[in-house]
Amino acid sequence: MARIGFNDEYVSGELEKVGNVLTVPINLYLIGGAAMIKYGLKAATKDIDVLFSTQREAVELVNALMKVEYHQIQSGRLAPEYKMMSATRIVENHDGFRWDIFHEYVCKKLRLSPGMIKRAKPFVKTGLLNVRIISKEDIFLLKSVTERDDDEDDLLLLARSGLDWEAILNECIGQSRCDMMCEIDLYDKLDKLRTSYGLETPISDRISTISYEQMDRWFEDTIYIELNVNPMKLADLLERFRCDEGILLPTLANLERLGRIEKINDKYTIK
C-alpha cells in the first residue's frame, strides 16, 4: 500500500511537538523532502529526513519522539531502499509519518561536512529544537546517493530550480574517499536525468571523466588484491571478473606498466 504524503503544516507541527518535549537543546539539520517543502519545491513528503553532527543529539531526538507517541519501525517492515540508507533510527507515528534519523553520515556515504554546515540556513527555533535547512545543492548531492522511489523526481525538481553546480561538484570531490567514490553515484544520477529528461549541466563532462577514472582505479585495485592472494592466468581472470579481453587486457597492461604486477609462466602475479 502506498504511503501518503504530509504537507508543510503537518511537518511544522511535528517539529513543534518535539521541540516542546526536549529536555536539552539540540541542533537538527533538515534534509530531503521536508527541506524541499520549505524551499517551495514540493507540496508534501512521506517522511522527514534529519541529520545530526553528534550522536548525543540523535539520541535526544529519539527520546523526545517516543514521548509524542512515535515508535521504532522493525527492520522487517522496511523496504530494501530504506534498509540501504543505514539510518541511525527510523520511527513512525500512528498517521504513518516517518522520521529517518542520521548521525553524521547518510547511507554510510556522505557526511555532514563543514561546507554543508556553512551553507545551511537557519529555519526555526521551537522549544529547545534549533532547525537548520541544508542548501538545495547539498540536498541534491545527498539524494544522488540514495535509491528511494521519488528521488529521481526530486533531483529533477532541484535541478530545474537553479543550482550552484560548482558547489555540488566541489562538495562531491571533497567527500570522496577510497572506499566510497561518490562521484560515480553523482554521475549515474546526472546521466539518468540527461537521458530521461534532457537535463544538461555544466559539470556533466567533468564528473563523467572523474567517474571513469575512479572505476578504472577500482578495477585495477581489485585485480591487484586478487593476484596478491592467488596468481592467475588470463583465462582465470576473465572468468573471475566476467568480462572480455577488450576490458581486462588494457587494465593488466597498465598495472604492468606501473610496476604493480608481472607475468611469470603465463600467470599474472604482484611484483
Q: Is the pLDDT of residue 81 over 80?
A: no
Long-range Cβ contact pairs of 233-242 (< 8 A, separation 24 or more): 233/266, 233/267, 233/268, 234/266, 234/268, 237/268
Whether 170 is covered by a domain: the verdict is no
Q: Is the pLDDT of residue 236 over 90?
A: yes
Q: Which domain holds residue 44?
A: 8-135
Q: What is the mean pLDDT of residues 123-131?
A: 95
The pLDDT mean for the chain works out to 90
pLDDT in tens, 137-190: 999 999 998 877 788 999 999 999 999 999 999 999 998 876 667 898 999 999
Check whether residue 17 and residue 129 sit in a common domain: yes
Which range scores top for mean pLDDT: 79-93, 146-160, 174-188, 191-205?
191-205
pTM to 2 decimal places = 0.83
Total number of domains in the chain: 2
Structure-block grid coordinates of residue 235: 583465462
Final residue before a domain boundary, out of 84, 106, 135: 135
Final residue before a domain boundary, out of 100, 135, 170: 135
Question: For residue 71, what is the domain's CATH number?
Answer: 3.30.460.40
Q: What is the mean pLDDT of residues 100-126?
A: 90
Q: Is the pLDDT of residue 254 over 70?
A: yes
Contact of 60 with 162, CB cutoff 8 Å: no
Check whether residue 14 and residue 128 sit in a common domain: yes
Q: Is the pLDDT of residue 87 over 90?
A: no
Check whether residue 129 and residue 246 sit in a common domain: no
Question: For residue 266, what is the domain's CATH number?
Answer: 1.10.10
DSSP the chain: -PPPPB-HHHHHHHHHHHHHH-SS-EEEEEEHHHHHHHTTS-S-BSEEEEEESSHHHHHHHHHHHHHTT-EEPPGGGS-HHHHTT--SEEEE-TT--EEEEEESEETTTEE--HHHHHH-EEEEEETTEEEEE--HHHHHHHHTT---TTHHHHHHHHHHT---HHHHHHHHHHH-BTTB-HHHHHHHHHHHHHHHH----TTHHHHHHHHHHHHHHHHHHHHHHHHHHS-EEHHHHHHHHT--HHHHHHHHHHHHHTTSEEEETTEEEE-
